Amino acid sequence: MRIDIVSLFPEFVTQVAGHGVVGRAQERGLLALHGWNPRDHAEGNYRRVDDRPFGGGPGMVMLIDPLRACLAAARAADPAPAKVIYLSPQGMPLTQAKVRELAGEPRFILLCGRYEGIDERLVAAEVDEELSIGDYVLSGGELAAAVVVDAVARLQEGALNDAESAAQDSFAADGLLDCPHYTRPVEHELGTVPEVLMSGNHAGIARWRRQQALGRTWQRRPELLDEAALSAADRKLLEAFKAENP
Ligand code: 6GU
């Protein structure tokens, strides 16, 4: 898949491909990232990309024309059609379901705003979707774009090694939080590893992990349970967890 990043700091985003899973996805040819800077499409000696907002107020608004030319250049770099996704706190929340949807696209363009935002006419004319990564304020869309790239890259077929795939199961597959994990030593001054994990009883271990995932989701993010498709066995496990953890 191909992702184009339109940003005043495109390297900020493309650098996520320098390490780890995203880097490997790129090395394996599963992902191509391309950065585009609207300043390279700005006119005049000052290569201006922003101006003061009509109506007054603080901050600057990104100009239509450098962004429009930059988007056109990004689109033209590949014949496949590309959705334009604007990262902004006004967008719909990014979810794993949305990540899965994007991961199936052959390409898309991530548009990052800085300053107070982008001239609304450019947004209306060019943007297909607006996404937010949470209810807090970032100085620009670049960190959010890096989040999208990471989440989408790891879902590309072949991006994860077997050991990493397992970690994906819980949240990605059924919208529950992950169970706790332990490694050596068994006995430590901070506590002992739950006995079932050393029992060699694979069904028992799977059951315990499922119960922990259900229980932690109930304790920390109960609203996720409304969306999760729980079996009758899940409900029993959760009731038992609740009884033990009132
Ligand atoms: Cl996508 N952009 C900005 N600038 N701030 C955010 C955000 C995005 N998501 C949460 N806060």
116 in active site: yes
Kindly state the helix (H) or strand (E) to which residue 87 belongs, with its residue range: strand 83-93
Q: Which of 169, 195, 227, 239 is catalytic?
A: 169
Total-model pTM: 0.94
**Residue 166's pLDDT band (boundaries 50, 70, 90)?**
low
Q: Which of 75, 154, 210, 216 is catalytic?
A: 154
Distance (angstroms) between ligand 1 centre and the Cα of 105 equals 22
Annotated binding site for S-adenosyl-L-methionine: 113, 133-138
Q: Coil, strand or helix: which one is 183? A: coil
Question: What domains does the chain contain, in order, with CATH numbers?
Answer: 2-153 (3.40.1280.10), 168-244 (1.10.1270.20)
**Residue 206's pLDDT band (boundaries 50, 70, 90)?**
very high
Q: What's the Cα-to-Cα distance from 195 to each of 83, 116, 188, 201, rounded to whole Å?
A: 50, 54, 14, 11
**Residue 171's pLDDT band (boundaries 50, 70, 90)?**
low
The mean pLDDT value for 13-39 works out to: 95
In angstroms, the CA 89 to CA 46 distance is: 29
Sole residue written with tokens 């898949």? 1
Percent of the chain with pLDDT over 70: 97
In sequence order, which residues have a C-beta less than 8 Å from that of residue 98 and are 6 or more positions away? Answer: 92, 131
In sequence order, which residues have a C-beta less than 8 Å from that of residue 181 and are 6 or more positions away? Answer: none
At how many degrees (to 10) do helices 232-244 and 202-220 cross? 70
pLDDT in the model for residue 55: 97
For residues 157-188, b (16+ Cβ closer than 10 Å) or e, as one string? Answer: eebbeeeeeeeeebebebbbbebeeeeeeeee
Least confident stretch, 67-71, 123-127, 163-167, 181-185 = 163-167
Kindly state the helix (H) or strand (E) to which residue 18 belongs, with its residue range: none
pLDDT tens track for 218-242: 999 999 999 999 999 999 999 999 9
pLDDT in the model for residue 72: 98
Residue 22 has pLDDT above 70, yes or no: yes
Q: Is 144 in the pocket of ligand 1 (CB under 6 A)?
A: yes
195 in active site: no
Q: Is 232 in the pocket of ligand 1 (CB under 6 A)?
A: no
Which residue's CA is the closest to the ligand 1 atom numbered 4? 140
